[in-house]
Structures are given as structure tokens and as C-alpha cells.
């Protein structure tokens, strides 16, 4: 038996994966229909379907378990994967802490033991996914504290 490594990215230009991209907005899957953030619901749905078609779940920018954007729940213990080294310092055997900077759209991981996060493939993948998640979440016109001043609304 052998281990098959599938990496469709190697040696190929990014093929147009999403044929549905330009179609009108899709309805979210039923299990996300109750989410108030419709953009999140649609992204969750899309990534669930992509995952069924062999997408790496660790490349997702939404979290199926927590039903949130990745950067909103990546600090949960469930996002520590010791085996793969995601959010995990191998030298210290400690979970990495997460600092999310919503303003800068950036995220940093650091080990509470040695203070650093080795630039492993797992850590780089996590940072990439969190940045994409921040960007996607902030792209929806919602007002975030500090980003812009909400309009004064008449209170009736």
C-alpha cells in the first residue's frame, strides 16, 4: 500500500474551479438558513459543498463546527490539531495563542511557552485562511467597531 499525495495545484495554472461563480446568489443550505449573517451562511454552504469535492477542510475560511468565520472561532480548543501541527507548538507541546487584529485584517499565532510560532506549513495555512476569513467577513458592508463611525440614528 502506498500513500497517495494529491496536490492538484502543482504544475497547473489555477483552473476555473467555480462554474457557478457568476450565477445569481445561491441560497444557503438548510442547516445555515437560520444564520443572520447571510454572507456567512452562503460561504459556509459553498465551502461545505467544496469540501465534499475534495477540498482541504483546513483551507476553509468558515468553520462548519462553530458556524462562524474562521478567525472568530480559531481560538477555540477544537481548532488545535496536534497531529497536523495546526495551532500547536511541537517543541513545547502547547496550543498556540491567537491574536486577531480586525482593524489590520491580520492574525498572529504565538506559543505561550517559547513565544513564537514556527513557520510550519500548518501555521502558514492557518494564517492564510484566517486572513482570507477576515477579508471576507469585512467585505460585507457591516460596520465594525473602530473601522468607521456608525451613522447616528434617530432613536424613536
Contact positions vs Zn ion (CB under 5 A): 63, 65-66, 73, 89, 91-92, 111, 113-114
Q: Which is nearer to Zn ion, 42 or 130 (by Cβ)?
A: 130
Q: Which is nearer to Zn ion, 38 or 64 (by Cβ)?
A: 64
CB of 117 to Zn ion, least distance (A): 8
CB of 125 to Zn ion, least distance (A): 15
Rounded alpha-carbon distances, angstroms, from residue 102 to 36, 62, 137, 145, 151: 20, 16, 10, 9, 20
100 within 8 A of 134, measured Cβ to Cβ: yes
CA neighbor of 62 nearest in space, from 80, 86, 81, 46: 46
Q: Which is nearer to Zn ion, 89 or 130 (by Cβ)?
A: 89
Amino acid at each position: 500500500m502506498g500513500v497517495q499525495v494529491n496536490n492538484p495545484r502543482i504544475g497547473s495554472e489555477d483552473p476555473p474551479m467555480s462554474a457557478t461563480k457568476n450565477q445569481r446568489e445561491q441560497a444557503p443550505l438548510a442547516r445555515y438558513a437560520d444564520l443572520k449573517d447571510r454572507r456567512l451562511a452562503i460561504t459556509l454552504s459553498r465551502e461545505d459543498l467544496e469540501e465534499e469535492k475534495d477540498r482541504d477542510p483546513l483551507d476553509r475560511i468558515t468553520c462548519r463546527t462553530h458556524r462562524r468565520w474562521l478567525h472568530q472561532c480559531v481560538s477555540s480548543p477544537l481548532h488545535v490539531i496536534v497531529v497536523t501541527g495546526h495551532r500547536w507548538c511541537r517543541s513545547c507541546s502547547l496550543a498556540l495563542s491567537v491574536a486577531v487584529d480586525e482593524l489590520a485584517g491580520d492574525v498572529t499565532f504565538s506559543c505561550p511557552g517559547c513565544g513564537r510560532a514556527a513557520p510550519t506549513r500548518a501555521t502558514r495555512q492557518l494564517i492564510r485562511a484566517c486572513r482570507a476569513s477576515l477579508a471576507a467577513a469585512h467585505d460585507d458592508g457591516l460596520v465594525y467597531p473602530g473601522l468607521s463611525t456608525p451613522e447616528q440614528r434617530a432613536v424613536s
